[in-house]
A = this chain, B = another copy of it.
Amino acid sequence: MLTREQNDLLTKTGPGTSMGDLFRRYWIPALHAEEIEGADSDPVRIKLLGEELIAFRDSEGRIGILDEFCAHRTASLFFGRNEECGLRCAYHGWKYDVDGNCVDMPSEPEGTKMREKIKLRAYPAVEAGGVIWIYMGPADKKPPLPELEWIGLRPEQRFISKRRQFSNYLQAMEGGIDSSHVSFAHRFNLDDDPLHSGTEGNKYLKADTRPRFEVSESDGGLLIGARRNADEKNYYWRITQWMMPWYTIIPPFGTHNPLGGHAWVPIDDETCWAWSWNYHPTQDFGERELDALQGGDGIHVKYKPGTYDPIAERSNDYLMDRGAQRRKESFSGIAGIAAQDFSLQESMGQICDRTKERLGTSDAAIILARRRLLAALEDVDSDDLPGLDPAHTNVRSTSVLLPKEVPFEEGAAEAIQVRPGENFVSI
């Protein structure tokens, strides 16, 4: 349970907010690279941390991330012409380069001094791993890019999707660090879903619904061990990585299924981007896997055409099927791992009121993640914030059987390291 003040601190990320300042210290996954593909791409609107931005590539392929609105009369640059190394406003032709400089002011007298004084807010951006990353913080504090494992892989080895979630980022992210709900919300689909099935671990997940949590601080955030009974000698451990400020890596479901994870990025305080990725460290996806990934199985979704919004949504009760619920084809009656999560998360209200919750021992990781986020607010200018060092994000999650007497940090020490060319560890 949080106080109202704590809940506000954690959930508000617009310009000028404390958490907004913290989040602006990190690189932000913002767009699929193909959304602004090729030189002189179509300009695309993107909202992040409450700021309305326009994204494009210029004629040289450089990425521009600018304030969406022209400095002149505040018309949207979405209507702009992207041509000859700059985005030109459709209203009076003012043109901006990728750094926000006004490079042409064709409505004003030739040689006007005014041009040099005009500069749009602009953010640095890079492409990595098929994603455009944006940095919205102080120029002198720009960290290196995160080194999430999939970023360095070939496209054939990874699948990245994003969807809009109609809730604050925090309740979405809390789902990602909560191993406990898997035994319930996804219970009847673990063995169905083509990206989760066929693994020994599912047996334990179903048999023991009362995981014991052991959580320790990692360099980047938290290392979350959720322990379930396996057999007389062993525990089944699902070990989740949470890295500041918004990354979660899902403990794998066998080594034949890909490893997966999420980034939970605020669009504004009421909506967020749920980035979802799967990858194989040592092989390409097979055809059937690709069908499943593209078809919206696993942690991915089916979209409304032309959008990143799932078809299953609040207005259609997420296509709930009470028959499927009764027949134990789905725990909540909702189809799909992803929709099973976000339906529940969105039902908490657009910003979950945490003054009303009643947390248990299984919420230990959530409690500690909030605490670590709040603690980071104390020293928002620090260069040692968890998650800033690329090594902090270059980690794996794992699921393992360990002898009961072995501490999980010890038993999984190797498994949670990224070892290029070697597959991850999972049973």
Binding site for B on A (CB under 8 A): 42, 69, 71-76, 78-81, 89-93, 105-110, 112, 114, 118, 174, 180-181, 183-185, 209-212, 317, 320, 322, 325, 331-334, 340, 343-345, 347-349, 352-354, 356-363
Contacts of A118 in B (CB 8 A): 358
Contacts of A361 in B (CB 8 A): 108-109, 112
- Supposing A91-B184, A185-B91 touch, asked if A107 and B75 sit within 8 A by C-beta, the answer is no
Q: How far is the CA of A185 from the CA of B184 in the complex (A)?
A: 55
Main secondary structure of the interface of A (DSSP, over half): loop
Q: How far is the CA of A76 from the CA of B183 in the complex (A)?
A: 18
Supply 7 A–B pairs (Cβ within 8 Å), ascending by A: A75-B344, A79-B334, A91-B344, A92-B184, A93-B183, A108-B362, A109-B212
Q: How far is the CA of A357 from the CA of B73 in the complex (A)?
A: 5
Chain B nearest Cβ from A211, distance in angstroms: 8
Complex contact A110–B210 (CB within 8 A): yes
Complex contact B212–A107 (CB within 8 A): no
Complex contact B107–A74 (CB within 8 A): no
Report the nearest B residue to A105, measured CB to CB: B360
Q: How many copies does the complex hold?
A: 3
Contacts of A358 in B (CB 8 A): 71-72, 114, 118
A75 contacts which of B90, B91, B183, B348 (Cβ < 8 Å)?
A: B348
Complex contact A209–B106 (CB within 8 A): yes
- Supposing A74-B348, A185-B90 touch, asked if A109 and B210 sit within 8 A by C-beta, the answer is yes
Complex contact B348–A181 (CB within 8 A): no
Report the nearest B residue to A208, measured CB to CB: B106
Q: How far is the CA of A354 from the CA of B185 in the complex (A)?
A: 49
Q: How far is the CA of A363 from the CA of B89 in the complex (A)?
A: 16
Q: How far is the CA of A184 from the CA of B81 in the complex (A)?
A: 10
Q: How far is the CA of A356 from the CA of B52 in the complex (A)?
A: 14
Complex contact B360–A69 (CB within 8 A): no
Contacts of A174 in B (CB 8 A): 73
Chain B nearest Cβ from A227, distance in angstroms: 11
